[in-house]
Amino acid sequence: MRLTKEEQAWLDGGDGPATRRAMEIVVALASIYGAERLIPVESVQISGVSFRNIGDAGLDFLRRWADEGARVRVPTMLNPTAMDMVDWRCQGFDPDFAAKQQQVIDAFARMGVGEGTPVPTCTPYLIGNRPAVGAHVAWAESSAVSFVNSVLGARTNREGGPGAIAAAIVGRTGAYGLHLDANRRATVRVEVRVQPETISDYSALGALVGQQTRKAVPYFQGLALDAADPLREEKLKTLGAAMAATGAVALYHVEGVTPEAAFSIPTPQVSVLRKVTIDDLRSGYALLSDDVDAIDLVWLGCPHASLAEISRVADLVRGQTLRLPLWVTCARPVRAVAVEQGLIDVIEAAGGKVFADACVAIAPVRDLGFTAVATASAKGAYYLRNLAKVDAKFGTVGECVRAAIEGKWR
Ligand code: F3S
């Protein structure tokens, strides 16, 4: 692998042990994937933030790296934590867990993540972090990776936890995978014969396509997503999130919609690709729904909710009295705007809560007392089942809110 003089000096320890350790990781990963050089990245998003997932071993690892003097070289963001960093008591977290989660955030802050004030979210693009078409970045959370690659047209592989931290410290990643033109071309054609309407319909569609295409680069045909659709980005974010969960899709194209669709597949070659046909979305909902009627939590905001999504929840619960806990998760700056607009008051008056920073799927859900959770996100349902180990019900936002109002799934 060719390294610049500066990169070689970092690898040789010229910038201290923290940078050397980061270079060793970045170079090792680049070598494994056959990269011939490193490329500068404009920004990094780090996953592996929930204390439930990383535990004491992960926390010690972060602290040691911070103690060694690790500092990020490029703007760096954090994935969600297990809990709302301010309102965790209301979620039922144990103070000991909360203290550990705070220490994880503190370690990242010492490294300069978020310029010392990390804002944990899986939708950094909703709070102003929107790389331009063709920009190289190193992001980690699978739905954010899908969005930045597909909807924004920037370039990233799905970075692992330590790999993303290392990339942030040296501002480099290997030139392989989705950083290269050749790997960004479509490999499967998806013919959509049933028109998804709601945001959760796009999630159900993504669940089916991810399951059938696994690591492919899907090229969607037949999706009616015009530029005037005010929820276009919400639909695309949940579509990508679902494909990343049931498959490992990190990049997709939508004919006439996403920035690289025209480049990704020259028209005469469309017909030679393997074709997947989707003509029913109910099976996408069923795929991620357990056979339970009794649920004890309704969770919306996966990926983290936009202002429009919070507004829709407020409209649905206005004047109602919820029988089940309803949690909406979002980025803290989005929540702040929702507060200004009175949306949080409406949701809380009905008995719901809007939590910042948090992701329910990576929280100790059972320890919080929940065993069955309803959600409008295929990705949320997938991880509730497989990571949080609770039953899941996947439906539309309307069905989820109705369950919260009526106290049971219908
Ligand atoms: Fe985000 Fe958690 Fe969903 S990280 S995409 S809210 S599973």
Give tens-digit pLDDT for 218-255: 999 989 898 889 999 999 999 999 999 999 999 999 99
Give the residue, by CA position, lying nearest to ligand 1 atom 3. Answer: 302
- For the chain, list the domains and their CATH numbers: 5-181 (3.30.499), 185-286 (3.40.1060), 288-406 (3.30.499.10)
What's the gap in Å between 146 CA and the centre of ligand 1? Answer: 13
Spell out the residues 6+ positions from residue 363 whose beta carbon is closer than 8 angstroms to its own. 50, 52, 82, 83, 91, 388
Query: Which of 364, 379, 381, 380 is closest to 101 using CA atoms?
Result: 364
* Paired tokens of 145: 């990776």
Mutate to test the pocket of ligand 1, among 52, 122, 203, 246 (most ligand atoms within 8 A of CB): 122
What's the gap in Å between 380 CA and the centre of ligand 1? Answer: 6
CA of 65: how far to CAs of 18, 24, 28, in Å? 6, 13, 18
* Distance in angstroms (rounded) separating the CA atoms of residues 150 and 147: 5
Beta-bridge partners for 278: 192
Q: What is the pLDDT of residue 410?
A: 86
Q: What is the pLDDT of residue 293?
A: 83
pTM of the model: 0.96
Q: Looking at ligand 1, which atom is closest to the CA of residue 241?
A: 5
Q: Which residues does ligand 1 sit against, CB inside 6 Å? A: 79-80, 122, 141, 143, 241, 302-304, 329, 359, 361, 379-380, 383
Q: What is the pLDDT of residue 268?
A: 62
Residues 148 and 139: beta-carbon distance below 8 Å: yes
Low-confidence ranges of the chain (pLDDT < 70): 266-271
What's the gap in Å between 389 CA and the centre of ligand 1? Answer: 15
Give tens-digit pLDDT for 333-382: 999 999 999 999 999 999 999 999 999 999 999 999 999 999 999 999 99
Give the residue, by CA position, lying nearest to ligand 1 atom 5. Answer: 303
Give the residue, by CA position, lying nearest to ligand 1 atom 4. Answer: 122
